[in-house]
Amino acid sequence: MKQNSLLVRSFHSSPFILHPSSFILPREGERAVPWSEIVAGSFLILALVGMSFYFGRRQLLTLRRLRQDGAVPDEERLYERKRARRRLISCGLTLLLAVLMVLLLALFEGKAQQLADAREGVADDAAPALTPAEKAFLRVWGGLVISILLLLLAVLGLAAVDLWETRRYGLRQMRKLQADRRAMIQRQAARLREPRDGNGQEQPGSG
Q: Give the E-state strand segments of 24-79 in sequence order.
A: none
Closest CA to 101 of 39, 44, 154: 44
Q: For all residues of the chain together, what is the average pLDDT?
A: 78
CA atoms lying within 13 Å on the CB side of residue 174: 6
Q: Tell me whether residue 124 is in a domain.
A: no
Whether 79 is in a domain gets the answer yes
Least trusted range by pLDDT, from 10-14, 27-31, 36-40, 130-134: 10-14
What does the pLDDT read at residue 194? 73
Does residue 56 lie in a domain region? Answer: yes
23: in domain: no
What per-residue confidence (pLDDT) applies to 14?
45
Number of domains within the chain: 1
Q: How confident is the model at residue 146 (pLDDT cuts 50, 70, 90)?
A: very high
- List the domain range (segments joined by +) for residue 94: 33-109+132-192
Q: Is residue 46 part of a domain?
A: yes
Return the pLDDT at 39.
Answer: 84
pLDDT class for 186, splitting at 50, 70, 90? confident
Which pLDDT belongs to residue 61? 93
Task: List CB contacts of 96: < 8 A, sequence separation 6 or more.
Answer: 151
| Residue 9 confidence (pLDDT) | 45
- pLDDT tens-digit readout, 111-136: 777 776 666 766 666 666 778 888 88
Please list the residues that pair with 202 across neighbouring strands.
Answer: 196
What whole-number percentage of the chain has pLDDT above 70? 71
Q: Is residue 104 part of a domain?
A: yes
Averaged over 5-34, what is the pLDDT? 46
In eight-state DSSP terms, residue 34 is P
Which pLDDT does position 188 carry in this prediction?
A: 85
Mean pLDDT of 59-76: 89
CB 155 within 8 A of CB 55: no
Summarised one tens digit per residue, pLDDT across range 39-52 is 888 899 999 999 99
Instruction: Categorize the per-residue pLDDT at 162 as very low, low, confident or very high, splitting at 50, 70 and 90.
Output: very high
Q: Name the band, by pLDDT with cuts 50, 70 and 90, for residue 207.
A: very low
Q: Are 144 and 104 in contact (CB under 8 A)?
A: yes
In a domain, residue 37? The reply is yes
Whether 143 is in a domain gets the answer: yes
**Number of Cβ within a 10 Å radius of residue 161:** 14
